[in-house]
Structure 1
Amino acid sequence: MSYDRILNTTAAWLLALFWLLPLAYAIWTAFHPAAFETRFEPLAPLTLQNFVQAWSEAPFARYFLNTMILVTGIVAAQFTLCTLAAFAFARFEFRGKGLMFALVLMQLLIMPDILIVENYRTMSQLGLIDTIAAIGLPYVASAFGIFLLRQTFMTVPKELDDAARVEGCSYLGILWRVYIPLAKPTFLAYGLVSVSHHWNNFVWPLIVTNSVETRPLTVGLSIFAVTDSGIQWSVINAATLMTSGPLLIAFLLFQRQFVQSFMRAGIK
């Protein structure tokens, strides 16, 4: 084994350990009584009381529902808009196409936090403050999604378009029957990234919501951690595992498909 490979392997293990330690502590405290928050005894009793207490002290059921509605709506809108835009950029020729695509790419250079003030002003003018729609509207179109799908669509042979047209397909029919099935790995990869991002998004939902009926999990968890006793790390970590658990379990179950999707949907 070469020196470079040994160094890279060691660095990877150190990074993995650095990432796992906080997770291991959260799991330990969540499944043990508060007395063992700083006592690591192998025979310490296990308990689910921390999860029961966290669930009863905050409306996490409502937070889960809000988050599911939010993430599902955003991903559905992004798939629809990004697919149509990417198909147009990949297969149609029209005046200003290069300029418009350049503007799309420029959005990748803009940090979302820069637009918080303007987005808040827009949501206020629309009367959508403190609604789930206000959280999702700024994200329904994704420059990254358009770019990724366009690159994938451009790899589809144009002969398939001609064959579909001979069979009587319209442009939407070609998109539905030819391009979308061939781009399934890209849709899977992008969907996983989008779900993860919006499930964990915090700053914008915190600013635009102020009621239980609209708060997603991240905001609800932060409020729970502040209003709850600060020393009850076992309860707070149990709530943290409840909110992050679905994504963690999904990644562990589909990590191979996730990696393969990105490898197949990479920029070609």
Structure 2
Amino acid sequence: MEDNPLKLPLVLRQNTRKALEEERRLNSERTKRRIQQILWHAVGFSFAAVWIIPFLWVVRTAFLPKDVAIDSGWSWGFTFENLIHVWNGAPFGRFFMNTLLVCGVVLAVQLVTMTMAAYAFARVRFALKDLLFMLFLVQIMVPPDVLIFSNYQVLNEMGLLDTKLGIMLPYFASSFGVFLLRQSFKQLPYELDEAARVEGASRLHILSKIYVPLSRPIYVSFAIVSVSFHWNDFLWPLIVTNSEENRLLTVGLAMFAKATESGAQWSDVCAATLIVSAPLMIGFLLFQRQVIGSFMSSGIKG
């Protein structure tokens, strides 16, 4: 039975109407998505501006001549004299080396201790393992500043006050790093252990040849967090150290900013601030792809 030719225009009109409605719906959804993207970008740029504007002001003031640094108007003056004066006016070279030493040694010891502890909590069977792990994680809930007085007493009894080892000792173990690495180790197939043991590999060999290489993004992410924290740490090094030969950059910056001859010189203070913050900023700009990639690939799963 053939279709009625009179019904064809009606069907075509209905199909055309449906196509137009579908196109309008798609255009409306595209417009909504574009508006949402614009709003999110505006919010992101607003938060970025809140952070970047003070930093740009510090960079600009650090390179301005002292006679125009406090003026309200705009100036195109440029000089390196502020950086040279600040570097020679305080032992920032020694502070810089002390900070590098503390960050490097703390990170190296943390990587060893958290690797051993994370493997034990993830793969080794022993009594009360879960209870001990929960007690170990209590450190994450306790702010480090709460333990300053007790740590100070312990270091005083050990005779480690005003020493670099005294600054580093309380941070040789990281509960956050153990938790992060344990979750990564638990995600790895247990068959890797069994295959390695069949070949006669020891636990240390399995740990160094299988678990550590496969958890590289976790190590990179933790290293970034650890170095950033200890580079910017101020309160604990301020309390522990008294001499210039053991002070870190943050403490040296505070002492320099409080000096009577430099307290009103914003160009000198900004130059000192730039000296302290520039290494981390340069490191992030040079390795930002690796930094972002490590955090994106180090997600925690249960």
Give the shorter-chain TM-score range: over 0.9
Q: In terms of mean alpha carbon deviation, does 246-255 or 55-64 score higher? A: 246-255
Q: CA offsets per residue over residues 186-205 of structure 1, 9 Å max, x none? A: 10010011000000000010
Report the equivalent of 1:202. Answer: 234
Q: CA offsets per residue over residues 23-73 of structure 1, 9 Å max, x none? A: 00111011111123234536x231110000000100001101111111111
2:223 equivalent among 191, 208, 213 = 191
How far apart in 2 are the matches of 1:84 and 1:147? 12
Matches within 5 A, 1:80-159: 80-159=112-191
Unmatched 5+ stretches in structure 2 = 1-31
In the alignment of these two chains, the number of paired residues is: 267
Amino acid at match of 1:164: A
Q: Is the Cα–Cα contact under 8 Å of residues 108 and 143 in structure 1 kept in the other structure?
A: yes
Q: CA offsets per residue over residues 149-199 of structure 1, 9 Å max, x none? A: 000111111111112112221100000000000011110010011000000
Q: Is the Cα–Cα contact under 8 Å of residues 29 and 36 in structure 1 kept in the other structure?
A: no
Q: Report deviation, 1:7.
A: 3.2
Q: Is the Cα–Cα contact under 8 Å of residues 262 and 269 in structure 2 kept in the other structure?
A: no
Q: Report deviation, 1:235.
A: 1.1
2:289 equivalent among 245, 256, 260 = 256
How far apart in 2 are the matches of 1:57 and 1:131? 23
Classify the secondary structure of the residue corresponding to 1:34. coil
Larger Rg: 2
Amino acid at match of 1:264: S
Q: In terms of mean alpha carbon deviation, does 247-256 or 198-207 score higher? A: 247-256
How far apart in 2 are the matches of 1:246 and 1:106? 33
1:12 equivalent among 35, 44, 58 = 44
Report the equivalent of 1:239. Answer: 272
Classify the secondary structure of the residue corresponding to 2:262. coil
1:41 equivalent among 74, 86, 91 = 74
Q: Report deviation, 1:105.
A: 1.5
How far apart in 2 are the matches of 1:27 and 1:176? 44
How far apart in 1 are the matches of 2:200 and 2:55? 55
Q: Report deviation, 1:11.
A: 1.7
TM-score of the pair, normalised by structure 1: 0.96
Q: Is the Cα–Cα contact under 8 Å of residues 256 and 262 in structure 2 kept in the other structure?
A: no
Classify the secondary structure of the residue corresponding to 1:186. helix
Identical columns (%)? 48
TM-score of the pair, normalised by structure 2: 0.86
Q: CA offsets per residue over residues 218-264 of structure 1, 9 Å max, x none? A: 00110011014222111111111111111011111112211211121
Classify the secondary structure of the residue corresponding to 2:106. helix
Unmatched 5+ stretches in structure 1 = none
1:162 paired to 2:194: yes
